Each structure stands twice: as C-alpha cells, then as structure tokens.
Chains A and B, each alone.
Chain A
Amino acid sequence: MASRDVVTYKTPLSRLLNVVIVIFLAFYLVWTVLPLFLMFVSSFKDLLAAFQLPPVGAFSQIGLFFDFAPTTKHYYNLFYNLDFSTYLMNSIIAAGGSAVVSVVLGSMAAYSLSRVDFRGKGDLFFWIISTRMAPVVAVLVPLYAIFRGFDLIGTRTGLILAYTTFNLPFAIWILKGFFDNVPFAIEEASMVDGSTRFQAFRAILPLVAPGIGAFIVLCVLFAWNDFLFASIIGSGGAKTLPPATRELVQPQNIQWGSIMAAGVVTTVPMMFLGLLIRRYLVTGLTMGAVRE
C-alpha cells in the first residue's frame, strides 16, 4: 500500500514530541511491570530482607532492593507446610469444570439460537446478558441461602455451579456471534449428503473450534480469578487459590514471602493462558462487542 507512507517532515517540535512519547512509554512500561516484578522478586526474599527499606529520601540506596540471598523456602512452605497443593487442585477443578460445562452447554444453545428465530428472542438475550453482568455479591446472597439448603457450601460442585452463573451466559452470548458467521449452507451441504442434523452441527464445529477453545480458556480465567464466590461458597472444603492467599494475611504475623509466592503461583498460569488467546482477548473481554 503506497498510501501507508504519509510524508512527514521532522521539525524541532515533532522531535520534541517523539522524546516525550518515548519517556511516556518508558514510564508506563515501568508502572505496569514494576508491581509484578516486585511481587516476583519478593517471593524469593527472606522475611528480614523483605522488610529492608532505605531511609526516606535516600534514592542512592535504592539498590538495597536487590541486596538479598534468594531463597525458595516460601514456595516450599506453601506446598509442604500449608495445603496449597489442595487449593491449587480446587482451583483447577472448579475453574476447569465450570468452563467445560459452560462451553459445552453454551455452544449447543448458541448454535440453535443462531439458527432459529422466535418471538421473545430479544428478551431471552437480555436475560442472558443481565445474568452475566449481575454484581457478584448480589448473586451471592440468594445463592448462599440456596446452597446452604442443598449442602453445597464448601464443595467443588457448589463452586462449579456458582462459576457457571457467569460463565454460561458469557459462553452463550459470545459463541452465538461465532455461529452467526458460519453460513447455513455448510450444514445444508452436509445434510444433502445424508447426515443427520446433529452430524451437521458436528460438521461445522471445526470451523468454530479455535473460538470455542479460546473461550474455554477465558472461562477458566474468569473463574480462576474469582475471589468472592470462592471465599463464601468455597469456604471450608473447596478453598481456591485467591481466598487461600488472602487468608495468609493475619493481624499478627503477615507472611509476606508466602503471600507473594502464592501470588506468583496464582498469576503466572493465567498470564500464559492470556498470551495464548491474545487474539481473542478483546472480543472476549468486551462480550463480543469489539472485534480486532
């Protein structure tokens, strides 16, 4: 494309602007990465080293931050003294379970909603999206009362169901947009060849498979990062990583090293998953309203 290269002239002003832009980007980069970096480094620090700060205003002693002997004892502590392997397992099962349930049921519903038209369809969609957008605490109040009656508090099943309250509407809503883009003619061709309707549905699944995969990952991410459901409905038997990390904060003895290590354990897998589905991230996080 020739039109891509708009001729620009370098004036002193534009040079100054460029310098300002570079400074701004550098500042923003540091601002974004620094908390993550500090969390990562602090998770390898001994308790005493973590408490060391230079005197106020002594910017020259900022190197004190790196003045420590790295130790992995906090990670050891998490998994051997504390019960973090169980919490990790709870997180994986609850998040994975709800993601699979939501996407399997959601893709079936999304497919048929995309293929069929009926009165009240708009209202149905409004119900679906308002379920997704309901404030978590407001959902939690009745759900807690109901789950208490069914003995679901403190179980992984309860947690999976709770996560499905936001993952299932998300899956239906977003996958419907995906099926809308698949022409009906493909199913028709398949049915003309003698397949049943369900086989025809299966025939178009490969076309939407990348999207479905990406949204399973996104459902895992939403459920994994949840704190409120996990701390109330999961309390007792099905504690996941975020509330378990929060519980390390105690009035007397805050184990910062362990907290930071737990933070790393919780965050790193999600960052990899996020990068994995980078292409679908904008679509997913905006409920399909914005496509890249």
Chain B
Amino acid sequence: MTQNISPAPEGAVRYVDGAKVLDYLPQVFNVKPSSSYYFWLMAPALIVLAAISIYPFFWLIWMSLHNVGSSAGDTFVGLKNFEKLLTDDKFWIGWGLLFKYSAFCMFFEIAIGVLLAVILNGHRFENILVTVFLMPMMMAPAIAGLVWYYLFNSTFGWYHWLLQSLGILGETSIIGSTDTAMAALIIVDIWQWTPLITLITLAGMKRVPRDQLEANMVDGASAFRNFVAITLPNIYPFLLIGIMLRFMDNFRFIDVILALTGGGPAESTKVLPVYLFDVSFVFFKLGRGAAIALTLLIVTIILCKLLVRVFEGPASKRTDMGS
C-alpha cells in the first residue's frame, strides 16, 4: 500500500466515483464510500419534491391545453387558451402593473434601505435598532394588509386622518381612488421589506476592507467620496442579491394586495398574479388560469437563472475567510 501523504492545500478535493477523496490523508483512510449510499439518502427528499413540483408542472401543461371544468367535462382545446391571452387586455395590463409595482417598491426600498444601513453601520444602538426595524418582516403579509386597510380607512383610519389633516388627501381614502391605490400597496411593501435590504447591506458593509477606507481618507477623500469609491463597489453584489430576491417575492406573494385592495378599484392594482388568482379561483376557469400560470412560471424561471448567477458572486463567501 502506498502511503500517499501529499500536503494538499485546503479546498483541493478530488472526487473519485462520486465520493470525496482527501489527498492529504493516507490512502487507507480514503475508504471509497459507495455513491449508492448517498443516493439512497437523498432519494426520499427528491421523490417528494418531484411529486409536488414536477408532477404538478405536467398537470399545469395538460390543463393549459384543455377547457377544465366545463359542463361537458375536460375538453381538449389545443392552444386556444394561449391565443385568447394575446387579445386579453387584462393579461397585458397585469404584466405592466406587476413590473411597475415591483420597480417602484425596489427603488424606494433600495434608497431607504441603503441610507438606513449607512447610518446604522457602527451606530451606538445598531443592534437594538436593527432588531426593532425587522419586526414587520415577521408579520404575515395578509395580516399586514389588513392592518393597513384599517389604518387607511376613510372614516376611522388614523393614517387617513393624518394624510387628510396634512392636506395630502381629500375625503377619499388612498385605497379608494384609482390614482393612489398602487401607492398604498407600495407603501405597505416598503414598510414591511425595507429592513431586509438594510440587513443585507449591513452584512455587506461589515465586509468592506477598513484599511482601504482609511487609506482613502488619509489621501483626503470625503466621507461621501469614500462611500462612492469603496463602499458601494463592495456592497454592490449584496444589493444585487437583495434586488433579485425582492423582485421574485413581488411575483410570489399577493397577500397584501388581496387584503388591501383585492385588485381594485377599477382594476388599477390588478397585477398579473392577482388576475391569475381571479381567473382560477373566483371564476374557476382553471384551463385559462393554467395558461397564465405557465407564462408567469417561464418568466420566473428566467429570473431564477439570473438569481443563481448572482448567488455565485462574491457575496456568498464567508466572512471569516476574507478580510
């Protein structure tokens, strides 16, 4: 038996037949675990996951090609469900509103979240303040929507009273007018999710090399210049992750919208997932709903591809290894 004791650098791991082999150990310790063992260990999870994701996905495709739930039973209609979408105004408006909603949320959350992180980083009360600020994130979005519905109510809502007293709004509540209902949704999203951006940015700022900041300061850079030249490039990958995650969450959840406006008034807040919900579970046109769901899924998968690329960026490295 060869005593192969080569001092391999950390991280240099070889795979032989799917099993991890560590070169720096004597050969005798590198017992080759059969990969079937690992296969059996991951099988239950993957089978369950396939049953609740791949199987429904094929069902979704099947449904999108049928007229589901009609009195004559499920009839095959080919691509008719998709053809109808092309001329369906609500479908296209829904996409437009969804991107508008997500973009506005993102803009304000990034602006406020980063500002907050810059202020909080190294602040005397950083820990306690961050802990208080992240409380809204723990709240069920549906409950948050209901609480804000109460606050915005035009006859007894305190926030409506405040907005009215300040002369910003008239008699109509913010969720009662087609011009302002979207703003109400964005306000709630900002309230609930800005802390996430702050948390992510703070995690990034802890990793900004201090010596660079100091060197730059010695060279006479202002604090603002320092932020733009050194901090921002360093936290950029973190911000990207935050943006992607929030963007996808805006696609994923419509709880707040259902609780606050239900898509109204006059469909001014009927973003695509809400429209999908209405088609599928209010009017029970499941075939049509499946077609809409497929388009939504495809866009999500493209976004997901981008997300995975972002995830592999420098932000995912551990703190204790760098700096």
A residues near B (Cβ < 8 Å) are: 3-4, 6, 21, 24-25, 28-29, 31-33, 35-36, 38-39, 42, 50-54, 56-59, 65, 101, 105-106, 108-109, 111-113, 115-118, 124-131, 133-146, 161-162, 164-165, 168-169, 172, 181, 184-185, 188, 191-192, 197, 201, 221, 224-228, 232, 241-243, 245-246, 249, 256, 259-260, 262-263, 266-267, 270-271, 273-275, 278, 281-282, 285-292
Q: Is B191 an interface residue (CB 8 A)?
A: yes
Q: A53-B161, A246-B146, A290-B200 are in contact. Are A32 and B135 (CB under 8 A)?
A: yes
Q: Is B319 an interface residue (CB 8 A)?
A: yes
Q: Is B19 an interface residue (CB 8 A)?
A: yes
Q: Is the CB of B22 within 8 A of A141?
A: no
Q: Is the CB of A192 within 8 A of B131?
A: no
Q: Is the CB of A138 within 8 A of B297?
A: yes
Q: Is the CB of A32 within 8 A of B255?
A: no
Residues of B within 8 A of A115 (CB): 19-20, 33, 38
Q: A146-B59, A168-B48, A228-B254 are in contact. Are A53 and B158 (CB under 8 A)?
A: yes
Q: Find the A residue at minimum CB distance from B253.
A: A136
| Contact among A52, A133, A192 for B304, CB-based, below 8 A | A133
Q: Is the CB of B206 within 8 A of A292?
A: yes
Q: Is B119 an interface residue (CB 8 A)?
A: yes
Q: Is B230 an interface residue (CB 8 A)?
A: no
Bound form: Cα–Cα A56–B135 in Å = 31
Q: Is the CB of B203 within 8 A of A290?
A: yes
Chain B, interface residues (CB within 8 Å), range: 35 or more
28 pairs, CB–CB < 8 Å, chain A vs chain B: A24-B119, A29-B132, A32-B133, A35-B151, A36-B136, A50-B156, A57-B165, A105-B48, A109-B44, A112-B38, A124-B46, A129-B308, A131-B53, A133-B300, A142-B56, A145-B63, A164-B52, A165-B52, A168-B52, A184-B13, A188-B29, A197-B37, A228-B254, A241-B140, A259-B146, A270-B140, A286-B200, A290-B200
> Which B39-78 residues sit within 8 Å CB-CB of chain A?
39, 41-42, 44-46, 48-49, 52-53, 55-57, 59-60, 63, 68
Q: When A and B form their complex, what is the total count of cross-chain residue pairs whose Cβ atoms lie within 8 Å?
A: 306
Q: Find the A residue at minimum CB distance from B51.
A: A161
Residues of B within 8 A of A164 (CB): 48, 52
Q: Find the B residue at minimum CB distance from A39.
A: B147
| Contact among A21, A38, A281 for B147, CB-based, below 8 A | A38
6 cross-chain pairs, A with B, having the tightest CB-CB distances, nearest first: A109-B45, A227-B142, A112-B38, A225-B140, A142-B56, A138-B293
Sample of 14 further A-B pairs with CB below 8 A, known A109-B41, A117-B15 = A35-B191, A101-B48, A115-B20, A116-B20, A126-B308, A129-B304, A137-B277, A138-B276, A145-B286, A185-B25, A228-B258, A246-B146, A285-B137, A289-B311
Q: Is B236 an interface residue (CB 8 A)?
A: no
| Contact among B13, B155, B203 for A51, CB-based, below 8 A | B155
Hey, what's the 0/1 contact readout for B1-40 against A, CB within 8 Å counting as 1? 0000000000001010011101001000101010101110
Q: A3-B214, A197-B33 are in contact. Are A245 and B146 (CB under 8 A)?
A: yes
Q: Is B164 an interface residue (CB 8 A)?
A: yes
Q: Is the CB of B280 within 8 A of A140?
A: yes
Q: Is the CB of A105 within 8 A of B44?
A: yes
| Contact among A3, A124, A273 for B210, CB-based, below 8 A | A3
Residues of B within 8 A of A184 (CB): 13, 20, 22
| Contact among A35, A57, A137, A232 for B254, CB-based, below 8 A | A137
